Amino acid sequence: MKKTNASILIIDDQEDILFASKVYLKKYFENIYTLNNPKNIVELLAKNTIDVVLLDMNYRIGFEDGREGLYLLKEIKTLSPKTVVILMTAFGKVETAVEGLKSGAFDYILKPWENTKLLESVKQAVDKARKEQKKMKSPEIADDFFIGNSEIIKKAYSLADKVAKTDANVLILGENGTGKFVLAHHIYSQSERKTQPFVNVDLGALNSNIFESELFGYAKGAFTDAKTDTPGRFEMAQNGTIFLDEIGNVPLHLQSKLLQVIQTKTVTRLGETKPRPLNVRIITATNLNLKLEVADKNFREDLYYRINTMEIVLPPLRERIEDKIPLAEYLLEKISEKYGRSQIIFDKKVLEQIEKHAWNGNIREMENKIERAVILCENNKITVSDLDLEQITEYENLDDIQLSSVEKATVEKALLKHNNNISKTAEELGLSRGSLYRRLEKYNISTN
């Protein structure tokens, strides 16, 4: 039997699973790699072209919620977008695996698995990887995304097109779900660096304990488990572009280290003393008001000016009224194709509701609602109940209401929803805890 010329990576902390899966899959595929420590993913992906990754979702004893697997999934998709990921999870953890599918995983299998199921899943993933590789090699295929016709969004993209041709650092501001990543990648794709790497780093999801090693890399022996010299994200973006998302969430004591790299255009790996030169274009983004964060001493002023050569503000969807229905129709077409249901349409009443709804979660909220509706709808028509939007508040029908009244009502509603939990409320509103406390004081809102 002829083997398929493909490279498969299996990541699991159980040696018996690594051994069994390698022996079985070796019969069908040319190259099988195994890792029992997920920290070595970066090095392996840097040295090898991997078609498919079989990724376990839990590694530390006592942490079995699958969050490690979801984090590693994002890492892999960032480092090697063409690599297809299959999640491995125990029975009873399917919900987390489904969340992984929404985050870009191709499939999941339950442990212990049936060999035939495993083989079939990997074969399909290899086919998917081949298609992705072919697509990435085709220069005529452009990024498919929705901009819109509202003046406010066209102005933002016009500014992006102008700055894209330069090497200026760009700061993108906007609420959660307004498309900051899409705009950052658009700037990259229009730049002179478009044939070089684009490295996306979600600083909000990066634990402060591994901040330096992930961004700046480390030398062999720099700390426990540092068994090989490993480049950081900045080095991976050499000659290309690095996108630092949620930069407003970087702790104050780590901001100085980031500033040093940006100022000197060099990076020093942990465990080394000699700086390495960098040629990297930097794009950053945040949903916070950095001017307020600087005023409150939560963000360094010198770092703010370093990353803010050009500032682009993405408007919330509620300010793009004429874009709501076209965006919804674009998303419906995209999601319907994903699920193989190309004939789905919106009921007329749904379009009216889409236009009136505030969409406080912006594009991300709309995409999630429409995806749910596509799954649930019958007779290829999405109804009001399928879309499942909350009732329109009394403020959405008033033209002359003051902005402060709307903001106060929004904060109170979010507090009620989360039982006065400050952290969860701040997260939903896209605010820092400090910013939320200022609004509580401003509007005399009690959390007792």
Q: pLDDT grade, residue 268 (50/70/90)?
A: very high
Q: Residue 379: its pLDDT value, please? A: 87
Q: pLDDT grade, residue 259 (50/70/90)?
A: very high
Cα–Cα dist 408/387, whole Å: 27
Cα–Cα dist 228/219, whole Å: 7
Cα–Cα dist 56/70, whole Å: 10
Choice among 53-57, 218-222, 311-315, 431-435 with the minimum mean pLDDT: 431-435
pLDDT at 141 over 60: no
Overall pTM surpassing 0.85 (yes/no): no
Of 254, 315, 251, 310, nearest to 284 (Cα)?
Answer: 310
pLDDT at 434 over 60: yes
Q: Residue 144: its pLDDT value, please? A: 62
Choice among 94-108, 120-134, 358-372, 399-413 with the minimum mean pLDDT: 399-413
- Give CA separation, 432 vs 287, 298, 424, in Å: 9, 10, 10
The mean pLDDT value of the chain amounts to: 86
Q: Residue 80: its pLDDT value, please? A: 81
Q: What is the DSSP string of 93-149?
A: -HHHHHHHHHTT--EEEEESPPHHHHHHHHHHHHHHHHHHHHHHT-TT--------S
pLDDT at 445 over 90: no
- Give CA separation, 196 vs 163, 238, 265, 303, 437, in Å: 18, 8, 18, 26, 43
